[in-house]
A and B are shown apart, each in its own frame.
Chain A
């Protein structure tokens, strides 16, 4: 079923909103105009993952050299710190573990999530 979240201007870039939907609620994120919707449930231990920081992460080409990448594209779980890619829901460390994602689009000026 379709969940009408809010008007697009009420979720400006960099903001988020958690709405009823699914079993645990759904977090809707606006990242530079791109919209993402994820279940508010961490696959690790069931935390409300959508309350976590939207941040970046690190990658490395050799020991002791870390570079900061993907700023604004990583959702960090507020309990244990697991990192998830905002667009795919996949864990950065263990990509086989993922937060459930939902299709999201704009319809007649409203953000709509397909549950």
Chain B
């Protein structure tokens, strides 16, 4: 049992050594078909997206449990790491997308989690477009002492508050598992990445895409999901906390006038955030002047909503030292307490 945790890395991304490695954890006949790779981008990053120095000699960056443990845990950057593997996007073949999730979960449980049961934790990948089998998969892994959350893609064909997804969120909440939302590999049949069409350049795409979380969040609030499922928490792992309050202000403002259309929304939207929403620090967006960061962290309610994440093995990997200037209580909550309170298995590994 971890009695004292100093720093929790709420999102690091483990990759297979070779992107085809997942295949051996998938079942026939789907394992015999082709499926997209990890880098099937509409907007290929012009420079490396992942740090080449974090790759083992025989694999992709972030594909060696030994190396990741050494770099994140032994080097003292974190005392526990939550692994959030990516899948292959919104595949048109729903069964294939589900099978990739199933294979990814087996791969994580066999190749990563046993490596350090005290300090490595995992995410259960599910395909939200396949609710019945998503629920089966949550039920399968929920008892695993190291599986601490359910992970879904940020990209979606419908915002996540809509009623077809409700049974998935109810199942996860029943097992005390938060839902982590993170941009997935882009190999699938996505809608265009903005509501006004296709940008031309990668920088446009990369800067704005995470902000799509607000569509999911507003949908979850407006459809009463947080009102109906008391202990459900969504973790937006691509960051974007900087955009939260300006956008939620709009929802609050309109809700005060238009409440009668959605009377199942009982609280002012902003009042759902502390109980139901968390953000990973990801790139730690913030003020132009770094000297203003401590006040900025207070104004976005980082004390209650933000969890440190390294985003390993990204080139924009973040160090917990980024919070050195923050007020002590806020710093402690962002680096560990917010995650400790959210993920009970972190302090009681083995209890299931």
Q: A23 on the interface (CB 8 Å rule)?
A: no
Binary B-proximity of A49-82 (CB < 8 A = 1, otherwise 0): 0000000011110111110000000000100111
Smallest CB separation, B195 vs chain A (Å): 25
Within 8 A of A (CB), among B222-269: 223-225, 227-228, 255-261, 263-264, 268
Q: A94 on the interface (CB 8 Å rule)?
A: yes
Contact B259 A63 (CB under 8 A): no
Q: Determine the residue in chain B with the shortest Cβ distance to A74.
A: B260
Q: Which 7 pairs, one residue from A and one from B, show the smallest C-beta to C-beta distance? A: A63-B224, A60-B263, A58-B263, A93-B259, A60-B264, A81-B257, A80-B257
Determine the chain A residues whose CB is within 8 A of the CB of B264 once the complex forms. 60, 62-66
Within 8 A of A (CB), among B260-281: 260-261, 263-264, 268
Q: B24 on the interface (CB 8 Å rule)?
A: no
Contact B256 A63 (CB under 8 A): no
Contact A59 B268 (CB under 8 A): no
* Other A-B pairs beyond A63-B163, A91-B256, 18, CB < 8 Å: A44-B256, A44-B257, A57-B260, A58-B263, A59-B263, A60-B263, A63-B223, A63-B224, A64-B224, A65-B264, A77-B257, A82-B257, A83-B260, A92-B259, A92-B260, A93-B257, A93-B259, A94-B268
The size of the chain B interface, using a CB distance under 8 A, is: 16
Determine the chain A residues whose CB is within 8 A of the CB of B258 once the complex forms. 81
Contact B260 A82 (CB under 8 A): no
- Residue numbers of A with Cβ under 8 A of B are 44, 57-60, 62-66, 77, 80-83, 91-94
Give the complex CA separation of A83 and B268 in angstroms: 15
Give the complex CA separation of A54 and B256 in angstroms: 18
Q: Determine the residue in chain A with the shortest Cβ distance to B255.
A: A93
Determine the chain B residues whose CB is within 8 A of the CB of A92 once the complex forms. 259-260
Q: Which of A57, A60, A80, A93 contacts B268 (CB 8 A)?
A: A93
Determine the chain B residues whose CB is within 8 A of the CB of A81 once the complex forms. 257-258
Determine the chain B residues whose CB is within 8 A of the CB of A58 once the complex forms. 260-261, 263
Contact A63 B227 (CB under 8 A): yes
Contacts known (A93-B255, A93-B268, A94-B268); A62 close to B228, Cβ less than 8 A: yes
